[in-house]
Amino acid sequence: MALKAKSLNPRTSDLKLARLESFIFPRLGRQPLTKLSAAQLLSALRAIEERGLHETAHRVRAQCSEVFRYAIATGRAERDVASDLRGALASVNVRNRPAITEPSKIGELMRAIHGYRGDPATEYALKLLPLVFVRPSELRCSEWNEFDLKNVLWRVPARRMKMREAHVVPLSRQSLELLESLKPITGKGRYLFPSLRSEERPISDNTLNAALRRLGYSGDEMVAHGFRSMASTCLNEQGWAPDVIELQLAHVERNEVGAAYNRAQRLSERSKMMQSWADYLDTLRSSAIGVR
């Protein structure tokens, strides 16, 4: 197999295999390489784009090209149909908000965030946002009475959600540690992240973006809202169920009848996913060189 033929570290190999298992095998896995057409492969890649995962579509196309080239080298195929699709996919710039999704660059960003020093409210909010990947407004206005630290859950009330539906965020061990460290600092007040000017107000909507600028990230590279795209892209590539990811992102539930049922029944899966995501960020942060 092409993945084993190359000198890849286990984490990179697992990630590449997860992409194929998530996006290619279900559609084309039983099709012989010699009979697979560019049109068939393009259809599978378009399905990835339709989920908003434009960078992932480009990565999967390149990875399929690697498989074809290996097949050619070993006499199992005659041409690389994936190479015919260069330029056929939408540009990765179609996303509305800049976000870092390349693992090596995520590691650099997490190291920068880990080293951030400033107002505690800003510092802790910046460290917590990648772990929970809620909308920035949902985080900055969060109140202590919403958190059940004993049961490691954050219940965001409907009035503060974009879709006006209450949302539950399972807390990873890393998130819990941050909250327990923050509580002695701001826990006597209403807000987790009070403004420097008044404890009766949360930090402003520009605070987290300003912190990213202080770390050297321009508005064209990364914004606070971009942590949602970062998590969505990476979790999809890692093979987590798309509906579990969408539930955690608090996107509109297409099947309104089953919305409440899904949120309740899949909380266990979401908890496992959130812990896995936090561990993944820790791994990238501690790595000297991020995974490509």
Annotated catalytic residue 114: no
> Catalytic one among 225, 263, 270, 285?
225
CA-to-CA separations, 271 to 127, 131, 170, 225, in angstroms, rounded? 19, 12, 5, 21
Phi then psi for 3, rounded to 5 degrees? -65, -40
> Catalytic one among 135, 140, 167, 263?
135
> Catalytic one among 86, 162, 173, 292?
162
Tokens, residue 37: 């057409």
Phi then psi for 167, rounded to 5 degrees? -135, 140
Annotated catalytic residue 272: no
How far apart are alpha carbons 61 and 240 in whole angstroms? 20
Annotated catalytic residue 58: no
Query: What is the CA angle 169-255-153, rounded to 5?
Result: 10
Sign of CA dihedral 117, 218, 194, 160: negative
Tokens, residue 168: 């539950």
> Catalytic one among 228, 263, 270, 285?
228
Annotated catalytic residue 167: no
How far apart are alpha carbons 20 and 71 in whole angstroms? 16
Helices (H), the chain: 2-5, 10-19, 25-28, 38-50, 54-73, 103-114, 120-132, 136-140, 173-186, 207-214, 226-237, 242-249, 259-265, 267-286
Annotated catalytic residue 54: no
Residue of 288, 281, 224, 286 whose CA lies nearest to 106: 281
Annotated catalytic residue 4: no
Contacts of 286 (CB under 8 A, 6+ apart): none
How far apart are alpha carbons 237 and 20 in whole angstroms? 9
> Catalytic one among 46, 261, 272, 292?
261
How far apart are alpha carbons 173 and 131 in whole angstroms? 10
List the catalytic residues. 135, 162, 225, 228, 251, 261
